[in-house]
Amino acid sequence: MVKPADRDTPAQHVRVPLRPARLRPVWLVVGLLAVVGSLVVGVSVGPVNLPPTGVARELVSLLPWVDLDSGLSERQQALLLELRLPRVVLGLLVGGLLALAGACYQGVFRNPLADPHLLGVAAGAGLGVTAVITLRRSGGGAATGALPFGTPLAAFVGAIAAVTMTYALASRGGDRAPSTLILSGVAVSAFLAAGQTFLMQRDADAIREVYSWLLGRLGTAGWRDVLLVLPYAIVTAAVVLLHRRDLDVLSVGDAEASALGLDPQRTRYLLTAAASLGTAAAVSVSGLIGFVGIIVPHTVRLLAGVGYRTILPVSALVGGAFLVLADLVARTAAAPAEVPIGVVTAFLGAPFFVLVLRTSTAARS
């Protein structure tokens, strides 16, 4: 039993202030400001610009027990509440989920390159959604329109299958280089994408629908999509955030983590499932939007510190804001046409990925 230092130890009177790595309020505030800022900008800017102050007043009046006249016209209100707001809220949810999932995978696999897309999880989820779309068409009935509410579950099955395959492939041979896991993810992604193409080719009409979803979009979002993704987002965020300290413990490897009192396998399974569920939900409503899970957690880690108690919540907030702003670029860069949002994130993310790859390789040698 460790008791206070001995009486004859000169250090006994030393009192050192200890500041453990906790979530500092300032970073929470920064994250929340990013969310609110991106929300206001995201709903104000578009082919028809809305006055930001009016928008802000209208948003505040949505809060319970607040009655405020925003000064917006009825058309402006409809544009705001029925078109722009659901799109921005969906962007916040999807971006938050992808960033949270990326940070979580990085901790679980102790791999700075882990990301929902690079691990093949998104491709697995994509295959699940494609199966839903094509099966629904071959089953007759309503061939187009909104996806059924069970879609994220089909995506989840694909996502779990993918991450299991990637991890199993990478674990053989015992090579712990970060790039091994990613190469396995590439192989699994290619395999699953082939399966997806096969499904699509069987039904020519499905191709258009799958493609329009696949390229990544928040564009056709309505409140229905928000409702579709919300329950999964809540479950994912709750599970991952509750285990934030466990991810720090896992950073010393499985053997030492279990000696410290953590069950590493159980923790890994649970957190992988949670991150994959979040990815599946995000992919179901928005298609394949890459690199958010790499860009956001690494930026947060760089600025706010290495502890997962900071990285996870701040990444979720900043990830949402990031995706809303990326969507803004997608909407406005080639107006009146829209660039797929996946293209915007890839333009930013690919160089960023190379940077992370180089630093992680340098750190190992």
Partner 1 sequence: MTAADPVIETRGLRVELGGNRILDGVDLVVHAGEWVTVIGPNGAGKSTFLGAVTGLVPAAGEAYLLGRDARRMRHRERARLVASVAQSPVVPPGVTVLDYVLLGRTAHIPRFGRESAADLDVVHDVLVRLELHPFTGRVLTTLSGGELQRVFLARALAQQARLLLLDEPTSALDIGHQQEVLDLVDALRRDHELTVLTTMHDLSITGAYADRVVLLAGGRVVADGTPREVITEAALATHYQARVRVIDTGDGPLVVPIRAR
Selected range binding partner 1 among 167-175, 247-255, 282-290, 292-300, rule: CB under 8 A: 247-255
Nearest residue (CB) to partner 1, 179 versus 251: 251
Closest approach, Cβ 276 to partner 1, in A, equals 21
301: contact with partner 1 by CB under 8 A: yes
Secondary structure of the chain as H, E, C letters? CCCCCCCCCHHHHCCCCCCCCCCCHHHHHHHHHHHHHHHHHHHHCCCCCCCHHHHHHHHHHCCCCCCCCCCCCHHHHHHHHHHHHHHHHHHHHHHHHHHHHHHHHHHHCCCCCCCCCCCCHHHHHHHHHHHHHHHHHHCCCCCCCCCCCCHHHHHHHHHHHHHHHHHHHHHHHHCCCHHHHHHHHHHHHHHHHHHHHHHHHCCHHHHHHHHHHHCCCCCCCCHHHHHHHHHHHHHHHHHHHHCHHHHHHHCCCHHHHHHHCCCHHHHHHHHHHHHHHHHHHHHHHHCCCCCHHHHHHHHHHHHHCCCHHHHHHHHHHHHHHHHHHHHHHHHHCCCCCCCCHHHHHHHHHHHHHHHHHHHHHHHHC
Query: In this chain, which of 18, 26, 63, 337 binds partner 1, going by CB under 8 A?
Result: 18
Nearest residue (CB) to partner 1, 14 versus 337: 14
Closest approach, Cβ 305 to partner 1, in A, equals 8
Selected range binding partner 1 among 58-66, 148-156, 300-308, 335-343, rule: CB under 8 A: 300-308
> Going residue by residue from 256 to 285, which x/- string records binding to partner 1, judged by CB under 8 A?
x-xxxxxx----------------------
Sign of CA dihedral 314, 318, 320, 321: positive
Query: In this chain, which of 126, 152, 307, 340 binds partner 1, going by CB under 8 A?
Result: 307
C-alpha 123 chain-centroid distance: 14
Query: In this chain, which of 157, 248, 299, 343 binds partner 1, going by CB under 8 A?
Result: 248
Nearest residue (CB) to partner 1, 76 versus 258: 258
Binding-site size, partner 1 (CB under 8 A): 39
Selected range binding partner 1 among 16-24, 74-82, 181-189, 271-279, rule: CB under 8 A: 16-24
Query: In this chain, which of 37, 52, 253, 351 binds partner 1, going by CB under 8 A?
Result: 253
173: contact with partner 1 by CB under 8 A: no
1: contact with partner 1 by CB under 8 A: yes
Nearest residue (CB) to partner 1, 11 versus 26: 11
338: contact with partner 1 by CB under 8 A: no
298: contact with partner 1 by CB under 8 A: no
- Name the residues that contact partner 1, by CB under 8 A: 1-6, 9, 11-12, 14-16, 18-22, 242-243, 245, 248-249, 251-253, 255-256, 258-263, 301, 305-307, 309, 363
